[in-house]
Amino acid sequence: MLIKTKSDVLSSEITDRAVFEARREFIKSATVLSAGLMMPDLGQAEPGKYKEVPIGPYSATLPVTAREDVAGYTNYYEFSTNKQDSTALAKGLKTSPWNVEISGEVEKPGVYQLEDILKDNPLQERIYRFRCVEAWSMVVPWIGFPLGEMLKRFKPTSKARFVEFTTLFNPDVMVGQRSSVLAWPYVEGLRMDEAMHPLALMVTGMYGDELPNQNGAPLRLIVPWKYGFKSIKAIVKIRFSETMPETAWYKSAPSEYGFYANVNPEVPHPRWSQSRERVLGSSIFTPKRTTEKFNGYGEQVASLYSGMDLSKYF
């Protein structure tokens, strides 16, 4: 597959506030510091745990959203429906040790320690655009590895057509689970070919450091061509199945949140347009950005959906 950098697409959205060269070498470079260039505040203690992680494919020099915006405005209904509150509420979540149960149509089912999973899957940094169904977007340097590389190791059988992910259920800590705002536990899923696509990532960190709890530590999914709700946090179960998983959002509002959830400006949410997005961290005077189909990753992923009516399979 031809991998093109996205810098040409993205040059139009570069703002003087958030422009920053993502390569670690550049960040560390004394010349840059002495040139007095403005750097966004990464808001983290040095040295970050994942500072030396190599840059993976698909990443490019992009205007990255400030870390404090990504970490301070999260969607995590297990803690709160308020996007500012989960930062404090999620602090109590214990993310180590962490086990992931693998089950269903797979030759190597079992309960695996996250530590062992990570050992087999070398981490990379990939800077991806992320867009919520509620119409804000951001560009984040995620630290992780292709989901497919991990899934292959468990040897899914030929019957595995879908993969289902489940979030931890622990209402003692996840206080939002005491209310029935969603069908708990949170469940998401992908078709196997989507899951095997190299853009689908298992994520353990961001901005050169561990994932903050509110952003889904210790293990979350990132599917950059889909709306944010597919990117499930705090994963404790992965199940391979013949049938399409019933996802949490689909269960709560089937007419609003389909299984595919591909970013698509042509298909409005029943209650609002999906054609424009607010760039997280931009001022209220900054015009909204025109949303791109598949969030700008069409060249890589459109072929997964050839022949499908995307207004029906939204």
Ligand X SMILES: Nc1nc2c(c(=O)[nH]1)N[C@H]1C(S)=C(S)[C@@H](COP(=O)(O)O)O[C@H]1N2
Binding site for ligand X (CB under 6 A): 74-78, 132, 167, 186, 215-216, 228-229, 231-234
Closest distance to ligand X from the beta carbon of 84 (Å): 11
Closest distance to Mo ion from the beta carbon of 131 (Å): 9
Q: Which of 131, 135, 132 is nearest to 273 (CA)?
A: 135
- Region binding Mo ion by CB under 5 A among candidate stretches 61-69, 71-79, 202-210, 230-238: 71-79
Partner interacting with residue 125 (select from Mo ion, ligand X, none; CB below 5-8 Å by kind):
none
- Region binding Mo ion by CB under 5 A among candidate stretches 68-76, 77-85, 176-184, 276-284: 68-76
DSSP H helices, 163-311, are: 192-195, 248-252, 298-301
Give the DSSP H/E element, type plus range, for residue 7. Answer: helix 7-10
The backbone torsions φ and ψ at residue 59, rounded to the nearest 5 degrees and listed phi first, read -80, 150
> Residue from 132, 135, 201, 223 that binds Mo ion (CB under 5 A)?
132
Distance CA 27, CA 20 (A): 9
Closest distance to Mo ion from the beta carbon of 224 (Å): 14
Our CB check for ligand X shows the closer of 82 and 157 to be: 82
Residue that is written with structure tokens 């800590």 in the block: 173
Partner interacting with residue 194 (select from ligand X, Mo ion, none; CB below 5-8 Å by kind):
none
Q: Which of 169, 149, 157 is nearest to 109 (CA)?
A: 157
Partner interacting with residue 80 (select from ligand X, Mo ion, none; CB below 5-8 Å by kind):
none
Closest CB to ligand X belongs to which residue?
228
Distance CA 293, CA 72 (A): 27
Closest distance to ligand X from the beta carbon of 47 (Å): 23
Q: Do 43 and 71 touch, CB atoms closer than 8 A?
A: yes
Our CB check for ligand X shows the closer of 105 and 182 to be: 182
Instruction: For residue 229, state whether it binds Mo ion (rule: CB under 5 A).
Output: yes
Q: Do 204 and 150 touch, CB atoms closer than 8 A?
A: no
Partner interacting with residue 167 (select from ligand X, Mo ion, none; CB below 5-8 Å by kind):
ligand X
Instruction: For residue 208, state whether it binds Mo ion (rule: CB under 5 A).
Output: no
Residue that is written with structure tokens 């609003």 in the block: 256
Our CB check for ligand X shows the closer of 157 and 273 to be: 273
Our CB check for ligand X shows the closer of 77 and 112 to be: 77
Our CB check for Mo ion shows the closer of 117 and 267 to be: 267
Q: Do 295 and 289 touch, CB atoms closer than 8 A?
A: no
Instruction: For residue 98, state whether it binds Mo ion (rule: CB under 5 A).
Output: no
Residue 218 in tokens: 């210790």
Our CB check for Mo ion shows the closer of 127 and 132 to be: 132
Q: What is the DSSP string of 257-296?
A: S-SS-B--TTS-BTTB--SEEEETT--TTSPPEEPPGGGG
Q: Which residues are at the interface with Mo ion (CB under 5 A)?
A: 75, 132-133, 228-229
